[in-house]
Amino acid sequence: MSSDVRFTDFKSDAQPTWCPGCGDFGTMNGMMKALAETGNSPDETFIVAGIGCSGKIGTYMRSYALHGVHGRALPVGAGVKLANPDIEVMVAGGDGDGYSIGAGHFVHAVRRNIDMTYVVMDNRIYGLTKGQASPTSREDFETSTTPEGPQQPPVNPLALAFAASGTFIAQSFSTDAQRHAEIVKEAVEHDGFGFVNVFSPCVTFNDVDTYDYFRDHIVDLAEVDHDPTDYEDARSRILDPGSEYQGVLYRDEDSVPYEKKHGVDANMSEIPDGAPDDAMDLVREFY
Partner 1 sequence: MPADFNWAIGGEAGDGIDSTGKIFAQALSRAGRHVFTSKDFASRIRGGYTAYKVRTSVEQVQSVVDRLDVLIALTQRTIDENLDELHEGSVIIYDGERTTMQDVEIPDEMVGLDVPLKSLAEDAGGAIMRNVVALGAACAVSDFPIENLNSALEKRFGDKGSAIVENNMTAARKGRDYVHEHYDQEFGYDLECTDENYVLLNGDEAIGMGAIAGGCRFYAGYPITPATNVMEYLTGRIERYGGHVVQAEDELSAINMALGAARAGARSMTATSGPGIDLMAETFGLVATSETPLVICNVMRSGPSTGMPTKQEQGDLNAMLYGGHGEVPRFVLAPTTIAECFHKTVEAFNLAEKYQLPVYLTADLSLAVTEQTYPPEEFDMDAVEIERGNVVDEETVGEWQDDQGRFKPHAITEDGISPRAFPGTEGGVHMSTGLEHDELGRRTEDTGMRVQQVDKRSRKVETAKAREPFEAREFGDPDSETLVISWGSNEGAMREAMVFLEEDGIDVRFLSVPYVFPRPDLTDDVEAADEVILVECNATGQFADLIEHDTLTRVKRLNKYDGVRFKADELAERIAAMLAGDGEEEEATA
Antiparallel, parallel or unpaired: β 218-220 and 194-199: unpaired
In the complex, minimum distance from the CB of residue 98 to partner 1, in angstroms, rounded to a whole number: 14
Residue 42 Cβ vs partner 1, minimum distance, rounded to whole Å = 5
Q: Is 93 exposed, middle or buried, given 0-12, 13-18 or 19+ CB atoms closer than 10 A?
A: buried
DSSP-assigned beta bridge partners for residue 247 = 171
At its nearest, how many Å lie between partner 1 and the CB of residue 162?
18
Footprint of partner 1 on 224-253 (CB under 8 A): none
Cα within 13 Å of Cα(95), Cβ side: 26
Pair 26, 57: CB distance under 8 Å: no
156 Cβ neighbours under 8 A, 6+ residues apart: 238, 239, 241
Residue 18: CB minimum distance to partner 1, A: 14
How far is it, in rounded angstroms, from Cα 159 to Cα 153? 13
Told to check if 130 binds partner 1 by CB under 8 A, we report: no
CA 224 to CA 209: how far, in whole Å? Answer: 23
Tell me phi and psi for residue 28, to 5 degrees: -65, -45
**Nearer of residues 51 and 196 to partner 1, judged by Cβ:** 51
Interface pattern 64-93 for partner 1 (x via CB under 8 A): xxxxxx--x-xxxxxxxxxxx-xx------
Distance (Å, whole) CA 267 – CA 111? 23
Q: What is the nearest approach in angstroms of partner 1 to the Cβ of residue 86?
A: 7
Tell me: does residue 280 bind partner 1 (CB under 8 A).
Answer: yes
Q: How far is the CB of 36 from partner 1 (least distance, A)?
A: 15
Instruction: Give the integer Cα–Cα distance in Å for 91 and 73.
Output: 7
Is the CB of 72 or the CB of 180 nearer to partner 1?
72
Could you give the CA distance from residue 272 to residue 253 in angstroms, rounded to a whole number?
A: 38
266 part of the interface to partner 1, by CB under 8 A? yes
**By rule CB under 8 A, what string of x and - marks binding of each residue 153-192 to partner 1?**
----------------------------------------
212 vs 141: CA distance, rounded Å: 17
- Is 256 a binding residue for partner 1 by CB under 8 A? The answer is no
Closest CB to partner 1 among residues 87, 160 = 87
- State the nearest-atom distance from the C-beta of 13 to partner 1, in Å: 8
Q: Is 222 in the site for partner 1 (CB under 8 A)?
A: no
Total binding residues for partner 1 by CB under 8 A?
Answer: 55
Please list the residues that pair with 117 across neighbouring strands. Answer: 90, 194
Residues in the chain: 287
Give contact residues for partner 1 (rule: CB under 8 A). Answer: 14, 42-46, 48, 58-59, 62-69, 72, 74-84, 86-87, 104-105, 107-108, 262-264, 266-269, 271-276, 279-280, 282-284, 286-287
